[in-house]
Chains A and B, each alone.
Chain A
Amino acid sequence: MTEELRMDRRANLRAIWTFVKRDLKIWTYFKLNFLIDLAGIFSNLAIYAIIALVAGEIVKSFLKPYGGDYVSYVILGIIFNTILSTSLSAPYWGTMDAFWSGRLEILMVSPISTPLFITGTSIGRYVRTFISVLIYLIFGVLFFGLKVDATAGYGLAVLYILLAAVACTGLGLMGASLIYFIDARGGQDPVRWVVEILVGLASGVYYPLNILPEWMQWLGCLIPHTYALDAARRVILGGGIGVTTLPIHSLFGLNPLLTDMLLLVAFSVVTMPLGWWMYNQGVRKAKTDGRLSRWV
């Protein structure tokens, strides 16, 4: 009369879909939150459109490799950073939400694997990000003058962003592992904190890096965001494909786009397995010292 149920590939996919549906239902449960998120996107874009009005001409000369238009530059920067920020934070917040809501134990005693646990608890954030990105694009084109060129290399841009997302997921897993290693359960993980400071200061989300002193430009070269933003903007917005924009480009002597690609691959190859290994070690440690669960 009893049964043992195993998770095959179809069951895993169904479980992931269930996580997506769950997160969307929770996101839209409080209708006001959803509307406030929409208003936040609109006001964020409006702020940068006003900055563009004031400072667009001043930074135009620095934006030549990216087509010269500040509004398009910054909207794409915000969109790409929204995606990469999700990759960076999803493993941490997925785990923390499960922990604080008391679902971590239920998930960890169920037959789902650790990769499915991470995917399931993170995927809702990606879906929300995807919807946000669409809204950014729609608002950007309709109200704020985001220039869309039908012949631009969107596929290549997506590839750059995907590679950076993999690298950021690896960094995110490293950060999430600190939940178990150093009890980083208070909403801040040191890895994400450091990366986000570098992103804000020196990755080129809001302004081109060539306006910064060289030592700060080198700081930007420590994170994958810089290469993804640089390359994806170039292929979408045109401008100088072969112009070096980062100090590291001169070191290799290759086409800057190729350099960006190689460095993103290198980041992904290093951070993803390392992040995965650290997360598993963290779970193992928490299951050894008894700090995994709120169930006592």
Chain B
Amino acid sequence: MSESVIETFDLTKRFGAKPLEEWRGWTEQLTHLVRQKLRRKEGKEIIAVDHVNLKVKRGEFFGLLGPNGAGKTTLIKLLTCLLYPDEGTALVNGFDVRKQRDEVRASMNVIISGGWLGFNFFLTVQQNLEFFARLYGLPKQLAQERIEETLTVLDLKDQREEVPLYLSSGMRQKLLLGKAFLVKAPVLFLDEPTIGLDPRAAYNVRDFVKNKLNREYGITVFMSTHYMEEADLLCDRVAIMHEGRIVAVDIPDSLKLSVKKGDLLELKVTNMTPNLAERIKGLDGVDDVVAHIMDPVAGVGFLRVHTPNSREILAELTQLVEKEGAEIKFIRNVDPTLEDVFIEFTGKRLRE
């Protein structure tokens, strides 16, 4: 259980302008020169993945949490050999992503976000699974057994003769997950697996990945998400990614505990004014306030107030809110979430 199945060493990826000497082959140098001539300049360099060092244990469910543009997908592309690193390297199932790409590909499965990528839209569900099985070299008899098993487990037997074009997004995502069940590669990369799914479909996907693939079959899951609840619910450990860097890695409870410096009060408020959070921040005994506006027109939102002792500020806090013309719907003591962890480490909210 302690053996690392994914390990990165200063893994780095840059996009945009690069010094000429970093381009290796003469064709790349030539292309680079031509482009420079054509465009005059190549734009600003972006470091999408910045010296990332991670270790994921065999059998672990590992989450990569960060907002859009944090570098999560780029990191997965580097680990799945769809992108070549500029610096550093990584081992997947013990194989180097720079030197042993065939072995890396034989060791993993990738499910890409959105449920629209990867299908043959005019083949039936069963034919799509057959196609996937052959891409991974499953012999015919074994492939047939696995396809039946997959259709049963994913509850897709009734849809076996339908084409994915006419399936719901939840069923398409299930079909993509079927690829991971057909061939139980040691590592499964999931990029935003529940994005765009309704709550029930998202629950089914999470349940299948966690209980079937990870727990029952021991597949190591490396999942990127920007849903903190998803990361909290599923992951044994979570890495917080921000602007290409890993800013924290730990089990979710430890991460949350690490930012708990006192009490955390959550208020649901209506008629909230834009400067209410700032006014509360000015109260004695308040460390920080984070406002999350749900409905800007009605001024409905949540305030999360960090304080060393909630009892001491409660009266003054409620008076101030009412004085500002807002109405408190409820107030309660809560524990920090991964969102609070993200704010603590990056100074920004996950969905900003």
Contacts and interface: CB of A to CB of B under 8 A. Distances in A.
Contact of B31 (A22, A26, A181): A181
Interface string A200-212: 0000000000000
A5 B136 contact: yes
B137 A11 contact: yes
Interface string B79-116: 01111101000000100000000110111101011001
Contact of A6 (B82, B106, B120, B216): B106
B116 to A, nearest CB: 6
Given A5-B183, A25-B123, A110-B136, A285 B131 contact: no
B283 interface: no
Contact of B105 (A11, A109, A288, A296): A109
Contacts of A295: 73, 77, 82, 112-113, 117, 191
Given A1-B184, A4-B106, A295-B73, A287 B82 contact: yes
A111 interface: yes
Contacts of A22: 120, 123, 127, 131
B137 A6 contact: yes
B82 A293 contact: yes
Contact of A111 (B15, B106, B118, B191): B106
Interface string B118-153: 111111000100110011111110000000000000
Given A1-B218, A2-B218, A285-B27, A105 B106 contact: no
A290 B136 contact: no
Contacts of B166: none
Nearest to A110: B135
B288 to A, nearest CB: 34
Contacts, number: 134
B28 interface: yes
B134 A4 contact: no
B218 to A, nearest CB: 5
Contacts of A7: 137
Contact of A287 (B84, B138, B139): B84
Contacts of B82: 105, 108-109, 287, 292-293, 295
A78 to B, nearest CB: 29
Contacts of B216: 1
Interface string A87-113: 000000000000001110111111111
Contacts of A181: 27, 31
A21 B103 CA distance: 28
B178 interface: no
A177 to B, nearest CB: 10
A294 interface: yes
Nearest to B28: A285
B263 to A, nearest CB: 41
A281 B25 contact: yes
Contact of A3 (B81, B135, B184): B184
Between B25, B102, B137, the greatest number of chain A beta carbons within 10 A of the residue's beta carbon is seen for B137
A109 to B, nearest CB: 5
Interface of A: 1-8, 11, 14-15, 17-18, 22, 25-26, 29, 101-103, 105-113, 181, 281, 284-285, 287-290, 292-296
17 contacts: A1-B216, A2-B219, A3-B185, A4-B103, A5-B136, A8-B137, A11-B137, A15-B135, A18-B135, A101-B120, A103-B120, A105-B112, A107-B135, A108-B81, A181-B27, A288-B86, A295-B77
